[in-house]
């Protein structure tokens, strides 16, 4: 859901999902990362005057997902549905809700242009949220918390 806050539509958001594509998970995922439903890429047109859009994505808790993960400009997978990125994961009506934001032309907008459109190739994924048991060079495997 585009143009949402805590799973509810923001009045007058006018954001529209114009493209939604699911594809297989990449073969070279970081150790411990799983993408139970593969990659979910979407494109959203923004309302005039908006530069950042909020998203809510509902998923089955059985996926074990820990967030909505995208690669940053360094190729590191980051969880936009985590507190450090202004997002959150919550439970609502027996479903898991992933809330996150993406700025038009920002680091997580795949086209990198301020053009009234956000392109976001990412994934509902599960990844151990603790670094306990992970090698100290975990950053070199392409993820960071």
Write the pLDDT tens digit of every residue in 13-65: 777 888 999 999 998 899 899 999 999 999 999 988 888 998 998 999 999 99
144 found inside a domain = no
Residue 135 lies in a domain: no
Arithmetic mean of pLDDT, 75-88: 93
Give mean pLDDT, residues 62-80: 91
How far CA 75 is from CA of 69, 78, 80, 103, 110, in Å, comes to 12, 9, 14, 18, 12
Integer Cα distance of 54 and 69 in angstroms: 15
Low-confidence winner among 47-61, 73-87, 93-107, 118-132 (lowest mean pLDDT): 118-132
10 lies in a domain? yes
Is residue 111's pLDDT more than 50?
yes
Torsion angle defined by CA atoms of residues 103, 114, 15 and 12, in that order, rounded to the nearest 10 degrees: 90
Cα 77 from Cα 141, distance rounded (Å): 9
Asked if residue 143 lies in contact with residue 82, where contact means CB atoms within 8 angstroms, the answer is no
- Least confident interval from 9-13, 66-70, 137-141: 137-141
Q: In this structure, what token pair is assigned to residue 115? A: 């053009």
In a domain, 49, yes or no: yes
Q: Which of the four pLDDT bands, split at 50, 70 and 90, describes residue 92?
A: confident
pLDDT of residue 48: 84
Whether residue 134 is contained in a domain is answered as: no
User: What range does the domain containing 107 cover?
Assistant: 4-128
Q: Residue-wise over 80-116: b if at least 16 C-beta within 10 A, else e?
A: bbbeebebebeeeeeebbbbbbbebeeebbbeeeeee
Q: What is the phi/psi pair of residue 58, to 5°?
A: -95, 135
Tokens of 42: 């979407």
Query: What's the total number of domains in the chain?
Result: 1
- Residue 108 in this model has a pLDDT that exceeds 60: yes
> What pLDDT is stored for residue 23 in this prediction?
95
Q: Comparing 5-19, 67-81, 90-104, 128-142, which segment has the lowest mean pLDDT?
A: 128-142
Q: Is residue 133 part of a domain?
A: no
């Amino acid at each position: 859901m585009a143009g949402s806050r805590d799973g509810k539509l923001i009045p007058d958001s006018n954001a529209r999902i114009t493209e939604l594509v699911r594809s297989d998970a990449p073969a070279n995922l970081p150790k411990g990362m799983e993408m139970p439903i593969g990659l979910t890429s979407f494109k959203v047109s923004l309302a005039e005057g908006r530069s950042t859009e909020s998203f809510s994505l509902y998923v089955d808790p059985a996926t074990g997902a820990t967030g909505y993960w995208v690669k940053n400009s360094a190729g590191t997978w980051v969880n936009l549905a985590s507190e450090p990125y202004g997002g959150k994961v919550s439970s609502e009506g027996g479903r898991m809700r992933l809330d996150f934001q993406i700025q038009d032309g920002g680091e997580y907008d795949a086209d990198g242009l301020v053009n009234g459109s956000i392109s976001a190739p990412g994934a509902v994924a599960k990844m151990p949220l603790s670094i306990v048991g992970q090698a100290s060079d975990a950053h070199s495997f392409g993820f960071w918390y």
